[in-house]
C-alpha cells in the first residue's frame, strides 16, 4: 500500500534561510520520523510513502532560494527504507498535473517582507489531481486552515481509499471550523502531532 504526504514545509518548519544548514537536515529527519510514526500508528500495511515538500522554492526571477538549495542538498538523505516503509521525498516545484514546468515566484519579496505564494493552491491542485491515483492514503502536513476545505472535499469523494489525514501543530477540535469538518460525514481525520 502507498501513501502520499503533501507537506507545507515553510508552515511546518518556520526556519529562516540564514540558519545553519544542519537545521534543515534535522528538520527533514523530524518530518520523516513524524510521518512514519503516524503511518505506523494509524494506517497499517503502508509500504511506501511519497513525500512532496512545498515551499517558497523560487523567487520571481526563477532563482532557487537559499532554503531550496539547502533542501535540494539534504532531501536525498531521508530517501530510503525504514522499518519496511520506503520513503520517496521530492521538492514540489511544479504541479503534479504539469510536471514539465517549474513555477516561479513561490517566494515573493515586498520590501522587507518575504512570504510564500501559491503553495496552498499547489497542494490543493495536487491533492485533486492525484486523488484518483493508486495511493491508499493522503496526509496533509500543515497548520494552515486554508487546506482543510480541500482535504474535506477530497475525502468526501471517497478518494485515497477514504483515508485523508491532516497533521498539524494544533490538536483536533481546536481549529475554528474543526467541528464542521469533523462532523461532515467525510473520511477526514485531524491530528495535532507536528512539532
Domains of the chain plus CATH, in order, are 2-192 (3.40.50)
CA distance 151 to 140: 8
Question: CA angle 35-40-46, nearest 5°?
Answer: 85
User: Above 90 in pLDDT, residue 21?
Assistant: no
CB hemisphere CA count around 30 (13 angstroms)? 13
CA dihedral for 121, 59, 32, 13, sign (positive or negative): negative
Query: pLDDT band at 194, cuts 50/70/90?
Result: low
Task: Specify the DSSP class assigned to residue 136.
Answer: S
CB atoms within 10 A of CB 162: 14
CA distance 166 to 155: 11
Selection from 56-60, 149-153, 171-175 with the highest mean pLDDT: 56-60
| Dihedral angle, C-alpha 71, 74, 96, 32, nearest 10 ° | -110
Query: pLDDT band at 185, cuts 50/70/90?
Result: low
Amino acid at each position: 500500500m502507498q501513501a502520499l504526504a503533501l507537506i507545507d514545509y515553510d508552515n511546518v518548519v518556520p526556519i529562516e534561510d540564514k540558519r545553519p544548514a544542519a537545521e534543515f537536515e534535522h528538520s527533514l529527519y523530524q518530518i520523516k520520523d513524524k510521518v512514519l510514526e503516524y503511518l505506523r500508528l494509524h494506517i497499517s500495511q503502508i509500504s511506501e510513502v511519497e513525500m512532496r515538500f512545498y515551499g517558497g522554492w523560487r523567487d520571481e526571477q526563477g532563482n532557487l532560494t537559499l532554503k531550496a538549495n539547502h533542501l535540494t542538498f539534504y532531501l536525498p538523505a531521508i530517501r530510503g527504507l525504514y522499518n519496511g516503509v520506503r520513503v520517496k521525498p521530492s521538492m514540489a516545484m511544479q504541479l503534479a498535473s504539469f510536471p514539465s514546468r517549474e513555477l516561479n515566484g513561490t517566494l515573493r519579496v515586498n520590501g522587507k517582507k518575504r512570504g510564500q505564494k501559491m503553495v496552498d493552491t499547489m497542494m490543493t491542485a495536487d491533492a485533486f489531481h492525484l486523488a484518483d491515483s493508486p495511493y491508499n492514503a493522503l496526509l496533509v502536513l500543515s497548520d494552515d486552515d486554508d487546506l482543510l476545505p480541500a482535504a474535506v472535499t477530497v475525502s468526501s469523494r471517497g478518494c485515497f481509499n477514504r483515508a485523508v489525514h491532516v497533521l498539524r501543530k494544533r490538536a483536533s477540535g481546536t481549529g475554528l471550523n474543526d467541528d464542521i469538518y469533523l462532523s461532515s460525514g467525510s473520511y477526514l481525520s485531524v491530528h495535532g502531532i507536528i512539532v
